[in-house]
Copies of this chain bind each other. A is one copy, B any other.
Amino acid sequence: LFTLIEDGTVTSPSGFRAGVAAAGIKYQGRLDLGVIASDRPGPIAGVFTRNVVRSAPVVACQRRLNSGVGQAVIVNSGCANACTGPRGAHDAEQMARLAASRLGISPEMVYVAGTGVIGTFVPLDRVAAGLSKMALESSGGHDFARAIMTTDTRAKELALAVTAPAGCFTIGAAAKGSGMIHPDMGTMLCFITTDASVDGRFLQAALGRVTDRTFNMVSVDGDTSPSDTVLLLANACSGHPTIGADGGQEFEEALLEVCTRLAMSIAADGEGATKLFEVIVTGAASESDARRAARCVAGSSLVKTAIHGADPNWGRLVCAVGRSGAAMDPDRVSLSLNDVPVMSRGMPAPFDEAALRRSLEADHVRAHIDLHIGPTSATAWGCDLSHEYVTINASYTT
């Protein structure tokens, strides 16, 4: 159905180019401005933060999404442009205008995103200067994935080649973490491109469903950013008949694969993280219960510090389920860590502590919690809580 493209990126689909600049928005000499542009306009879908405090770029994107059409995105990684009032709203529109003028298209076709310090203003002169020296190229995807990074230690990007009944197409994506990340639209920024021809309404519905199962199941620190943005541009350059609700299964499965991989890499590269922490809840009474329990365990500071220390302190996981709001019967719960049963039907299960400690030192730790009361399951992804997380966040604005 789909294959991973070697060295794939957000410009792997046909008809997309990207450009970057070191515009000096917050720091000198690092890439901090990126543009993705399609050769032609097409349907666009978006999912955004659920925080009541929304950044000016999020508000600008949500307004544009009423049309359902887009052609380009401009992103900066030095300034969130949040809590900046009417001037911030004006600045976000101005960023779209500057990019539109550079690309020779309408400002309404340009979507805007930003990440960085809250409560500071975008230096528009530096954005303009960055755009003026920017070259947009079909090989520009890798640089784009680097330009949107803040505290990320690795670029997060991939592309899939998909074979569907409607025809062949490609999906590419780039995302960034890595702090202020929690379930309610739990990514920071993610840009997905495809040369598939997709019905606009189906595109939005599929992106919403996939986001709920992927980015919304990631937690790095329980905090929700005002800038969270996922945008999906479809430019129809692959030329096959339009995919809609009826023919969309392969498209949605491939999109799920792309977003699952990115969600896992966002969690694994959480601020200060030394390991990926995967929490699988089965036997829940409902899907929302399963999700709530899995996210609560993945987000618990006490669980995360224990995972950091490879400490099999499993009572903390059970207690996190207990405060999650999910229906549970403590006497039925079974729990394993890296496939070693540590609790069985509500009672401690004997285990080889030294062996389990060694196993928990791996860079991927998996908890499986079976509530044994229903048929549904969910998976959440988080990371450990380390000294480095404290170091990063004790002096972020410095």
Contacts and interface: CB of A to CB of B under 8 A. Distances in A.
Interface residues of A, number: 66
Nearest to A221: B301
Q: Which of A300, A308, A348, A393 is the most central at the interface, judged by chain B CB atoms within 10 Å of its CB?
A: A393
B223 A394 contact: no
Given A306-B396, A311-B394, A330-B83, A319 B119 contact: no
Contacts of A315: 80, 82-83, 117-119, 226
A153 interface: no
Interface stretch (A10-18, A45-53, A123-131, A167-175): A45-53
A313 interface: yes
Interface stretch (A141-149, A252-260, A321-329): A321-329
Interface string A301-318: 111011011011111101
Given A301-B222, A302-B221, A386 B390 contact: yes
Contacts of A342: 119
A323 B223 contact: yes
Nearest to A392: B305
A51 B118 contact: no
A323 B396 CA distance: 20
A179 interface: yes
Contacts of A32: none
Nearest to A181: B302
A166 to B, nearest CB: 39
A85 B393 contact: no
Q: Which of A53, A54, A300 is the most central at the interface, judged by chain B CB atoms within 10 Å of its CB?
A: A53
Given A51-B322, A222-B222, A394 B347 contact: no
A346 interface: yes
A57 to B, nearest CB: 14
B180 A393 contact: no
23 contacts: A53-B321, A53-B330, A54-B330, A80-B315, A82-B315, A83-B348, A117-B315, A118-B315, A119-B343, A119-B348, A120-B348, A180-B302, A223-B303, A225-B319, A301-B393, A302-B393, A305-B393, A306-B396, A309-B398, A311-B396, A387-B387, A387-B390, A387-B391
Which 3 pairs from chain A and chain B are nearest by CB? Answer: A118-B315, A309-B394, A53-B322
